[in-house]
Amino acid sequence: MNTRALPLYVTVGIFLLAYLVFWLQFPNILSTRVIGNLLTDNAYLGIVAVGMTLVILGGGIDLSVGSVIAFSGVFIAVLLRDAGLHPLAVFALLLLLTTAFGAGMGFLIDRLAMPAFIVTLAGMFLARGAAYILSIDSVPIQHPFYDTLQGAYWLMPGKGRLTLIGVAMVLIVVLGMIVAHKTRFGASVYALGGGEAAARLMGVRQGRTTVMVYAFSGAMAGLAGIVFSIYTGSGYSLATVGTELTAIAAVVIGGTLLTGGAGYMFGTFVGVLTMGLIQTYIVFDGSLSSWWTKIVVGILLLAFILLQKGLLKLSRMRLARGAA
Amino acid sequence: MLLSIRSLTKTFPGTRALDAVDFDLRAGEVHALLGENGAGKSTLIKCLTGAYRRDGGTVMLDGAPIDPQSTAMAQELGIGTVYQEVNLLPNLTIAQNLMFGREPRRWGLIQGRAMRMQARATLAEYGLSLDVDRDLGTCSVAIQQIVAIARAVALSGKVLILDEPTASLDAAEVRMVFDVIRGLRDRGLGIVFVSHFLDQVFDLTDRVTVLRNGRRIVTEDTASLDRVRLIEHMLGRELEAATGHPSPDRVARPPMLDIRGLGRRGTIEPFDLAVGQGEVVGLAGLLGSGRTETAELLFGLLGAHSGGARDQAGPLDLRNPRAAVAAGFGFVPEERKTDGIVADLSVRENIALGLQARAGWARPIPRAQQNRLADDYIRRLDIRTAGREKRVGDLSGGNQQKVVLARWLAMNPRFLILDEPTRGIDVGAHAEIVRLIHGLVDQGMSLLVISSEIDELIAVSDRVIVLRDRRHVAELTGTDIAPDRIMRAIAATGKAA
């Protein structure tokens, strides 16, 4: 068996096991209502994590996405309030803006040969600051089109609601899977994450790929911002603080190697659901503090990092034995 | 003629890396390119693969002049290269590596099944039947090299340059790779084979070209080539100034250091070495024979798997450089620019560095003492510098080397290892360094000198150890220390040393 896919199997295994354990305690957790809510509540996180997965696969990191989501919400709310544009026009404008923002960061990372950490950290402050400039207060979104978006859902058997934003997340995950695993761009991203020198020798256009990776992440952050604004019905510059770290956690729990070059888009989806599931369990239990989510996520993260280290060592040992 | 190079010249600031080199490659031959470090092999290859632009000369491929400006362009022209390492991506599958950039697609999406089929078909041409979905990183190095070769051939298909492709392979794997190379030769490719394993050169190649100091020395058919003469060509032998042996009669020296069975698996076979006080031991051998590895083992840069060292007082701890320094060892490394000097620090700081490291950061050496030290060594070693505060990176190679020497001399070691002490140094400074070495010995210091230049070894050594294939194979003393004896020992095949 390929050791590369093992973290993915572990991720899926942990998710199913957790679900089983929770189901034994609360049989209702398997209802379509819970499943529908799981998708809806984590829609924005899932979308932004798709972008983050591609960035991490390419050996980078994007710390700006949490701020970009907050900025998007405020941008939408203020524009709808003041400019009188249709939401779809605002969405298009926003996606253009966040994609260009990501592309700009990618350009700097490549051209200045700067660590992605620093450049996107600057981007994080920049986007958050821009959100504050637009508005310090929470701005409610009132528009008939938004009411339509928020009210759009498909009633599953068992009265669970499959909302528009939940479906959007699933579609974005599928898109992410296609981009990462089925295109030459995706192959280039894996190549860069595996080793820049070898990737260049093999003909990867490093600059172009880097710019496109961060542009993709920027677009995903903008889309997550739209979804988040639909979810909350407002824009607030203090929202989604630290979401970039939650997204990174979801990616790693999803089995992607933090140093890049190995991982699966589907794993990130399962990672997001696993984190959502823990939260749901805490809500079901009722007596646990919600901070337990963080503790469990922390433990899971640690376990996955150890697992990856262990696998790396195992494959090296096997290789050494094979060569001898 | 498939590839024809005429008076290729490439100059870097301060050195002429290639000086009017001619090189011809026929279709259907394996042509070895040989030479020691700094001979110009890699510069020649980089000019062919587009990594460097040449300064002069012509390169003709299939009768048409070419001027590749990037690796990709060289590939399109038909010149593919496989390096010793870092060719492919260990995190991708064999199929992905083989087909990268040429994946069969439909509507922009990669067709996985078709890609795997093509990859299997390509590998079948090399007689390999592999699971192409395996990560390349989990395959043996030989398989990785063959996949790299297959990819290079598929992309370019006329000229294949193999730069030390067998350096990390064992004997069975080398045979496997050689079979592949012979198959490609029979298909009519022109193959340039760079290696420092002479046995492999004689085993595989049809012709040999030797470079030395950026010049082509000779091109000959491998079959008609004599091993000793080949080594003469590689190492050079201009005995115009027979410096002579310093002290052939001084034999009885008080022992200083006794090394028993020191070795490291896969790096150097266990060896014994006794060094007397004030003795100069020379290490001779070709590049990759284990000279530098011997030095690094002694200085604790590489961990030993067996054996140990002792002096009169008892066993010595040589587990790491710090321990070796504490035992009174010093090491002037081969790569002066990266491992020797700290280019951005001044002459004074570079000289004081070793003493300061030994004293520890809590006890700074007073500035006045540093100044005294620096001025003293600038005078004693005749370091040509505008002053002690000059940046070392701005000095010439010979003066940089003297600064590194001064750093060690300031610590007064009893055993100093000099790895290629005169590499990349002009002739005048060369003689000075040799003179310095003689001076050190007179003060009772013991030296281990590694050099590719046999004349230099002969000039300074009391005893010469010859290395071949990571093993100490011969020891020459007294009148045996002569060029032909040393070369014969280097050239001898496995059986007789």
Q: Per-residue b/e over B333-370, b at no fewer than 16 CB within 10 Å? A: bbebeeebbeeebbbbbbbbbbbeeeeeeeeeeeeeeb
Task: Enumerate domains of chain A plus CATH numbers.
Answer: 3-319 (1.10.3470)
- At B424, is the pLDDT very low, low, confident or very high (cuts 50, 70, 90)? low
B203 and B75, same structural domain?
yes
Determine the distance in angstroms separating the CA of B403 from the nearest CA of chain A, rounded to an integer: 33
Please state the pTM of the whole predicted model.
0.76
Residue A105 confidence (pLDDT) above 60:
yes
DSSP B396-434: -HHHHHHHHHHHHHHT--SEEEEESTTTT--HHHHHHHH
Residues of A in contact with B87 (CB under 8 A): 198, 201
B249 in a structural domain: no
Please state, in angstroms and rounded to a whole number, the distance separating the CA atoms of residues B333 and B329.
13
Of B87, B91, B105, the CB nearest to A201: B87
- At A151, is the pLDDT very low, low, confident or very high (cuts 50, 70, 90)? confident
B324 and B436, same structural domain?
yes
Q: How far is CA B212 from CA B6, B106, B488, in A?
A: 17, 52, 20
Query: Residue B475: in which H helix or E strand, if any?
Result: strand B471-477
Residue B251 confidence (pLDDT) above 90:
no
Best of A177, A201, A256 to disrupt the B interface by mutation (most B CBs within 10 Å)?
A201
Determine the distance in angstroms separating the CA of A205 from the nearest CA of chain B, rounded to an integer: 11
Q: Give the angle A87-A93-A97 at the CA atoms, nearest 5°.
A: 140
> What is the number of alpha carbons within 13 Å of residue B172 lying toward its C-beta?
5
Bridge partners (DSSP) of residue B161 are B81, B192
Provide the CA B416 distance to its chain's centre, in angstroms.
21
Q: Which two tokens stand for residue B431?
A: 């003689």
B263 and B200, same structural domain?
no
- At B303, is the pLDDT very low, low, confident or very high (cuts 50, 70, 90)? confident
Of A2, A202, A318, the CB nearest to B100: A202
Please state, in angstroms and rounded to a whole number, the distance separating the CA atoms of residues B219 and B207.
7
Determine the distance in angstroms separating the CA of A246 from the nearest CA of chain B, rounded to an integer: 26
pLDDT of B107 reads 87
Q: Per-residue b/e over A56-66, b at no fewer than 16 CB within 10 Å? A: bbbbbbbbbbb
Closest CA to B286 of B241, B221, B238, B236: B236
Q: What are the pLDDT digits (tens) for A22-80?
A: 899 888 888 888 999 999 999 999 999 999 999 999 999 999 999 999 999 999 999 99
* B16-43 mean pLDDT: 86
Are B287 and B36 a contacting pair, CB within 8 Å? yes
Of B101, B138, B141, the CB nearest to A203: B101
Determine the distance in angstroms separating the CA of B339 from the nearest CA of chain A, rounded to an integer: 23
Q: What chain B residue is nearest to A316 in terms of C-alpha separation?
A: B138
Of A183, A195, A199, the CB nearest to B110: A183
Q: Which residues contact B156 (CB under 8 A, 6 or more apart)?
A: B74, B75, B76, B77, B78, B79, B80
Provide the domain count of chain B: 2
* B394-421 mean pLDDT: 87
Are A225 and A73 a contacting pair, CB within 8 Å? yes
Tell me if chain B has a CB within 8 Å of the CB of A264: no
* A313-324 mean pLDDT: 62
Determine the distance in angstroms separating the CA of B139 from the nearest CA of chain A, rounded to an integer: 7
| Mean pLDDT rounded to a whole number for chain B | 84
Mean pLDDT lowest among A285-294, B134-143, B186-195, B249-258: B249-258
Q: How far is CA A219 from CA A52, A74, A172, A216, B170, in A?
A: 11, 16, 11, 5, 50
Q: Which residues contact B340 (CB under 8 A, 6 or more apart)?
A: B332, B333, B400, B401, B404
- At B14, is the pLDDT very low, low, confident or very high (cuts 50, 70, 90)? low
Q: Give the type of residue at B45.
A: I
Tell me if chain B has a CB within 8 Å of the CB of A157: no
- B110-115 CB contacts, 8 Å cutoff, 24+ apart: B110/A182, B110/A183, B110/A184, B110/A187, B112/A182
Tell me if chain B has a CB within 8 Å of the CB of A3: yes
DSSP A43-69: HHHHHHHHHHHHHHHTT---TTHHHHH
pLDDT of B252 reads 62
Question: B138, A319: Cβ pair inside 8 Å?
Answer: yes
DSSP B210-249: EEETTEEEEEEEGGG--HHHHHHHHH----SS----S-TT
Residues of A in contact with B100 (CB under 8 A): 187, 191, 202-203
Closest CA to B452 of B231, B303, B149: B231
Of B71, B88, B133, the CB nearest to A2: B133
pLDDT of A110 reads 94
% of residues, chain B, pLDDT over 90: 14
Residue B287 confidence (pLDDT) above 80:
no
Q: What are the pLDDT digits (tens) for A157-171?
A: 888 889 999 999 999
Q: What are the pLDDT digits (tens) for A162-195?
A: 999 999 999 999 999 999 999 999 999 999 999 8
B236 in a structural domain: no
* A239-252 mean pLDDT: 92
Provide the CA B347 distance to its chain's centre, in angstroms.
28
B21 in a structural domain: yes
Give the structural domain span for B319: 255-491
Mean pLDDT lowest among A165-169, A225-229, A311-315, B343-347: A311-315
pLDDT of B12 reads 78
B276 and B343, same structural domain?
yes
Are B195 and B166 a contacting pair, CB within 8 Å? yes
DSSP A108-172: HHHHTT--HHHHHHHHHHHHHHHHHHH-SS-EE---HHHHHHHH-EEE-TTS-EEEHHHHHHHHH
Final residue belonging to a domain, choices B204, B225, B246: B225
pLDDT of B167 reads 72
Side-by-side strand order, sheet with B314-316: B268-276, B255-264, B306-311, B314-316
- At A2, is the pLDDT very low, low, confident or very high (cuts 50, 70, 90)? low
B340 and B213, same structural domain?
no
B183 and B273, same structural domain?
no
Are A234 and A74 a contacting pair, CB within 8 Å? no
B241 in a structural domain: no
Closest CA to B128 of B70, B168, B177, B71: B177
Tell me if chain B has a CB within 8 Å of the CB of A318: yes
Tell me if chain A has a CB within 8 Å of the CB of B105: yes
Final residue belonging to a domain, choices B225, B244, B263: B225
* Residue the block writes with tokens 């050689």: B178
Q: What chain B residue is nearest to A314 in terms of C-alpha separation?
A: B138
- At A223, is the pLDDT very low, low, confident or very high (cuts 50, 70, 90)? very high
Of B75, B109, B134, the CB nearest to A182: B109
Q: How far is CA B463 from CA B260, B282, B476, in A?
A: 18, 6, 6
Residues of B in contact with A203 (CB under 8 A): 72, 75, 100-101
pLDDT of B497 reads 35
Residue B184 confidence (pLDDT) above 50:
yes
Side-by-side strand order, sheet with B29-34: B79-82, B159-163, B190-194, B29-34, B207-212, B215-221
Dihedral through CA B44, CA B50, CA B55, CA B56, nearest 10?
70
Residues of A in contact with B138 (CB under 8 A): 3, 315, 318-319
B176 and B265, same structural domain?
no
Determine the distance in angstroms separating the CA of A196 from the nearest CA of chain B, rounded to an integer: 9
* B172-192 mean pLDDT: 89
pLDDT of B494 reads 47
pLDDT of B428 reads 65
Q: Which two tokens stand for residue B340?
A: 């020797």
Alpha-carbon torsion (A67, A133, A237, A269), positive or negative: negative
Alpha-carbon torsion (A232, A235, A241, A246), positive or negative: positive
Report the range out of A236-250, B9-23, B129-143, B274-288 with the highest average pLDDT. A236-250
Bridge partners (DSSP) of residue B192 are B31, B161
B220 and B287, same structural domain?
no
pLDDT of B496 reads 39
Question: A202, B101: Cβ pair inside 8 Å?
Answer: yes
Q: Tally Cβ neighbours within 10 Å of residue B130.
A: 17
Bridge partners (DSSP) of residue B194 are B33, B163
B278 and B197, same structural domain?
no
Please state, in angstroms and rounded to a whole number, the distance separating the CA atoms of residues B442 and B426.
25
Determine the distance in angstroms separating the CA of A303 from the nearest CA of chain B, rounded to an integer: 22
Are B272 and B261 a contacting pair, CB within 8 Å? yes
Tell me if chain B has a CB within 8 Å of the CB of A194: yes
Alpha-carbon torsion (B146, B148, B152, B155), positive or negative: positive
Residues of B in contact with A263 (CB under 8 A): none
Final residue belonging to a domain, choices B173, B203, B225: B225
Instruction: Classify residue A198 by its DSSP letter.
Output: H
pLDDT of A30 reads 86
B482 in a structural domain: yes
Q: Per-residue b/e over B143-163, b at no fewer than 16 CB within 10 Å? A: bbbbbbbbbbbbbbbbbbbbb
Question: A198, B86: Cβ pair inside 8 Å?
Answer: yes
Q: At what angle do helices A87-111 and A144-151 cross, to 10 degrees?
A: 80
pLDDT of B250 reads 52
B82 and B145, same structural domain?
yes
3 state DSSP class of B163: strand
B329 in a structural domain: yes
Tell me if chain A has a CB within 8 Å of the CB of B91: yes
Q: Give the type of residue at A90.
A: V
| Mean pLDDT rounded to a whole number for chain A | 90
B239 in a structural domain: no
B198 and B310, same structural domain?
no
* A269-285 mean pLDDT: 89
Tell me if chain A has a CB within 8 Å of the CB of B131: no
Question: B140, A184: Cβ pair inside 8 Å?
Answer: no
Residue B397 confidence (pLDDT) above 60:
yes
* B338-365 mean pLDDT: 87
Residues of A in contact with B112 (CB under 8 A): 182
Residue A317 confidence (pLDDT) above 80:
no
* Residue the block writes with tokens 């840069």: B301
Bridge partners (DSSP) of residue A288 are none
* B155-167 mean pLDDT: 85
Closest CA to B371 of B389, B355, B353, B385: B389
Are B334 and B419 a contacting pair, CB within 8 Å? yes
CATH of the domain at B140: 3.40.50.300
- At A323, is the pLDDT very low, low, confident or very high (cuts 50, 70, 90)? very low
B389 and B334, same structural domain?
yes
Q: Which residues contact A125 (CB under 8 A, 6 or more apart)?
A: A67
B273 in a structural domain: yes
Query: Pairing mode, if any, of strands B190-194 and B29-34?
Result: parallel
Residues of A in contact with B75 (CB under 8 A): 203
- At A203, is the pLDDT very low, low, confident or very high (cuts 50, 70, 90)? confident
Residue B473 confidence (pLDDT) above 50:
yes
